[in-house]
Amino acid sequence: MQPLTSAMTTFKKSLLAALKSFLRGRSFLQALFAFWISPKTLKEHQVGGTKVYPSRTIEEFLREADKLLLGPLEGDRLHMYSLDLKNQFRERLHTHAECMLPSFNHLLPTGRERGQYLALDVGGSTLRVALVELRGRGVTAKESEIIRMVSFKITSEIKKLEGMSFFDWMAARIFEVVHKDISSEKDLIPMGLAWSFPVEQVSLGGGLLLGMGKGFLATNGLLGQDLGELIRFACKKQGLNVQLTAIVNDSSATLLSQAYVHGSTHFGLILGTGTNIAVHLPVSAFSRVKYGNRPESWFEFADHVIVNTELGMFGKDILPLTRWDELLNANHPRPEFQPLEHLLSGFYLGEICRHAIVEAVETTGLLGGQLPPSLEKPYSLDTEILSRIEADTTPTLEKALEDFTTHYPCATPPTISDINAIRTLATFISRRSAALLAASVFSLWELRHETEAEQAVVTPKRAPSNDSAIVLSCPPIDDRIDEVEAEVSTKVAFNGSVIEHYPRYRETCQHYIDDLVSRSEHTGSIDLVPALESSILGAAVAIACATTPEV
């Protein structure tokens, strides 16, 4: 009877293992059938003292992950996706109030603007005040340079300053930086502002204050008031006569900062925690309703305009989603708001990988079949950790092992095979992001070519001069010359932690861009170029464009 008793015990354990697998989403019959067919061929893993048999190998799981994440990018499929995306871009040139938003900035720099300019960058944790010198293209020194910049930490106490108290604090910091450069309180100082919060822009230098979020109380009692007037009033108390001449967002600033250096720059790309693209398009590409109630005088001078695409909001119903993307989407507070951002930006790449790791742990026995407790919480897998793991290409994966175990301690020490599997997942996810970003850039490049061709004959127009404004230490300007550049190469200025620092991301994205361009009927190339300190430099260039008179 002893052998029969032993067999019954084994059978009971198998039923228990199969039931546990069923409760995790596996097929009960599949697990039971696998036991009877070949019980000795399955590797055992201890989970809570119970032997659990994985349903497949990690190699099988990775082959499926490759097919799901990268399969839709192979052959002509990425190009077909780019065409669908371009159709969405084109449709929203005329509809949708939250994306494809034409700014008030219709001027790109000529590269002949020169002088020193005051620029501010207000972010979630830092205020930066800088004097920027523009020297012009073709000089032996740098075309643009931050000659002085002071950063001020925006602490939790400063965030709690209500109403004008916050702007008074800002004005005091501005005074600290520039008061020695002002010869007279009557001098009008044009100022550019990179503002990292919502604002309803009503002119190039005017915007109505909206809720700032991120713990700031500055909008209390000031909602709907003009941001430029609030800053001007606060600075007046410090004896500074400032005028907010230009407000720019991060993607527009990135575009402007490099357009000053490279005249063929028509795109500004942000890819860090979030993502966005600004693009310079013909005014005629948009329906008039998209321009709101701006004055008719704006249209007299504008034939092109810098557009905030809000790129992350595109992709609905055309993106190649996996079940891990669907899990992220299902648990997101605004699941349909930014579908493309979920697949591109640094905030989400780690979470997609975490969902895949959870499944691999349960179905393949990855990490000993037990998920580290620190990975149970949503968004606990930082994309920065993924980038470090992916950066380790050594056979021993020593640094990757150390990074993973330091941040995510495991009951069973992970093996090289475990970390290699996680690294492989990370490469699939980052490569997909780079490919989809490339398709986004390419689609907008084609859209720009098409809208340029569709635009009626354009008469060159001149921007109004602002003779009442002075520029800090600005010498007389040379004659401004319209630069007609053959657009053999279109520059895409970029900024952001993912595209700057994630291993091989930029190179991978450029490779996909080059392949897509080779399939296009339009001639030319697209080159990704870095735009360091783009917020400050872009704000300064925006002032220069607005205040430099034409002669």
- Tokens 């055992």, residue? 44
pLDDT of residue 245: 93
State residue 19's pLDDT score: 45
Identify which of 508, 506, 512 has the alpha carbon closest to the alpha carbon of residue 528.
506
The string of DSSP codes covering 467-496 is TT---TTPPPPPPP------TTEEEEEEES
Q: Would you state the pLDDT for residue 181?
A: 76
The stretch 384-409 carries a mean pLDDT of: 96
Q: Are 313 and 340 in contact (CB under 8 A)?
A: yes
| Predicted structure pTM score | 0.83
Rounded distance between C-alpha atoms, residue 167 and residue 109, angstroms: 30
Per-residue pLDDT tens for 79-132?
999 999 999 999 999 988 889 999 999 989 999 999 999 999 998 889 999 999
**For position 487, what pLDDT does the model report?**
55
Q: Which two tokens stand for residue 136?
A: 């012009």
Taking only the tens place, the pLDDT of each residue in 37-59 is: 333 333 444 444 444 557 899 99
Among 147, 121, 249, 71, smallest CA distance to 472 is for 147
Place of tokens 């919502």: 198
Distance CA 451, CA 442 (A): 14
The confidence score (pLDDT) of residue 548 equals 75
Sign of CA dihedral 252, 257, 262, 268: negative
User: Distance between CA atoms of 261 and 137, rounded to whole angstroms?
Assistant: 6
Share of the chain above pLDDT 90, in %: 71
Around Cβ 500, how many Cβ atoms within 10 Å? 15
Confidence of residue 31 (pLDDT cuts 50, 70, 90): very low
How would DSSP label each residue in 159-198?
HT--THHHHHHHHHHHHHHHGGG-S-TT--EEEEEEE-S-
Confidence of residue 140 (pLDDT cuts 50, 70, 90): confident
Which whole number is the average pLDDT over 219-240?
A: 93
Q: What is the mean pLDDT of residues 205-212?
A: 89
2-56+323-432 maps to CATH 3.40.367.20: yes
In this predicted model, what pLDDT tens digit does every residue of 308-339 receive, in sequence order? 999 999 999 999 999 999 999 999 998 889 99
pLDDT surpasses 50 at 307: yes
Res 32 pLDDT > 70: no
Return d(Cα 147, Cα 156) in angstroms, integer. Answer: 29
What is the CB-side half-sphere exposure of residue 438 using CA atoms within 13 A? 27
The predicted-structure confidence for 466-487, as pLDDT tens digits, reads as follows 433 444 544 443 433 334 344 5
- For 330-381, write each residue's pLDDT tens digit: 999 988 899 999 999 999 999 999 999 999 999 999 999 999 999 999 999 9
pLDDT at 35: 35
DSSP 496: S
pLDDT of residue 185: 64
For residue range 432-465, what is the model confidence (pLDDT) as tens digits? Answer: 999 999 999 999 999 999 999 988 544 454 444 4
Please state, in angstroms and as integers, the Cα–Cα distance from residue 32 to each residue in 28, 45, 266, following that order: 6, 17, 60
Q: What is the pLDDT of residue 448?
A: 96
Q: Which residues touch 417 (CB under 8 Å, ≥6 apart)?
A: 58
Q: Which residue has the higher pLDDT, 15 or 152?
A: 152
Contact indicator for 421, 56 with CB cutoff of 8 Å: no
Q: Compute the mean pLDDT over every residue in the chain, rounded to the nearest whole number.
A: 85
How far apart (Å, rounded) are the C-alpha atoms in residues 135 and 114? 5
